[in-house]
Amino acid sequence: MRTSAESDEQTLRHLVRQARPSGALPPDFAAAVWRRIEQSQATTDSRWQHWLTEAAAFLCEPRHALATLGAVLFLGALTGLIQGWQQSEDLARQRYLTAVRPLLP
């Protein structure tokens, strides 16, 4: 059994040696790979920078800043109104149940 396992291992080693590439890499292969990695990272960083720059430029104009502030205030007031409405309905429901069944825990 060991003989067949050893011969299989020898055959496998021989096949692995044959499968290795024999050609050399281009002279600046590693530098080209790192350059491509740096370029992909630079484009990702520049997207965020571009977006933040555009947003800052948009908000630096007084009319856009006031419009954004007005929209945020309006949304905040609307959210407060909706939450207050829901809380008043819950309070009215609890008071009704207390009036109908005062001994209910």
**Average pLDDT for consecutive 10-residue bins of the chain (105 residues)?**
79 84 80 87 76 90 95 97 96 92 77
Contact 99, 92 (CB under 8 A): no
pLDDT at residue 62, as a whole number:
93
Overall number of domains in the chain: 1
Range of the domain at 81: 70-105
Q: What is the pLDDT of residue 6?
A: 85
Residue 10 lies in a domain: no
Sign of CA dihedral 58, 60, 61, 63: positive
pTM: 0.47
pLDDT at 105: 64
Residue 90 lies in a domain: yes
Query: Is 34 among the domain residues?
Result: no
Name which of 68, 42, 41 is nearest 56 in CA terms: 68
User: Tokens 């571009």 sit at which residue?
Assistant: 50
Domain-located, residue 65:
no
Query: Looking at the domain assignment, is residue 13 inside a domain?
Result: no
Residue 36 lies in a domain: no
